[in-house]
Amino acid sequence: DPHVDAAEERAAGRLLTPSRPITFYIDPSVPERWRRAMKRGVENWQAAFEQAGWANAIVAVLPGDEAFPSDYSAADSRYASISWAVSLQEVYSVGTHTFDPRTGEIMDADIMFSHSWVSAWANDFDADAAGAPARTGTGAGGSDNGSPHRHHGKVY
């Protein structure tokens, strides 16, 4: 609402609702078994947005949801996406974005996970959860000793 004074609302402890939430579309390339986890991962950021004063600031849309666009394409800059790459050789994930340099508004953001990255992370998670020392570090981000994370000889 353009008539709402954001400073007054925040001073009163009320959350603001954006005119358009940040929306990530889970690409159909993401295997079914990971889609709900990807959606939860996106929407778990809501708590951080609420602490920053925003309600309903971020959502994820799954293929088949009513809100999933019929003309969706991961290459279309109208749709922020999370997609999957089939890779048994390389372990990687990437995130790119396009922003308006005049305002700082993020216009598009795309995240791609490789199958090998998710597998490495899941294997480390399973080992950590079982109480066994993880053979590749402590999660996909790195190891306890600050050295790079290794999986099948790859560093990431």
Task: Grade residue 151 by pLDDT with cuts at 50, 70 and 90.
Answer: very low
| H or E element that contains 10 | helix 6-11
Q: What pTM does this model have?
A: 0.70
The Cα 93–Cα 38 span in angstroms is 13
Residue among 111, 116, 114 at smallest CA distance from 136? 116
> Which pLDDT belongs to residue 61?
98
Task: Grade residue 30 by pLDDT with cuts at 50, 70 and 90.
Answer: very high
Task: Grade residue 25 by pLDDT with cuts at 50, 70 and 90.
Answer: very high
Q: Is the pLDDT of residue 33 over 60?
A: yes
Residue among 60, 45, 43, 57 at smallest CA distance from 15? 57
Average pLDDT over residues 12-33: 92
Higher pLDDT, 132 or 9: 9
Q: Which amino acid, one-letter code, is at 39?
A: K
Task: Decide: 60 and 42 in contact? Cβ < 8 Å.
Answer: yes
Task: Grade residue 43 by pLDDT with cuts at 50, 70 and 90.
Answer: very high
Q: 102 vs 42, 53, 99, 105, CA distance in Å?
A: 26, 23, 9, 8
Task: Decide: 90 and 116 in contact? Cβ < 8 Å.
Answer: yes
Higher pLDDT, 4 or 96: 96
Task: Grade residue 12 by pLDDT with cuts at 50, 70 and 90.
Answer: confident
| H or E element that contains 47 | helix 46-51
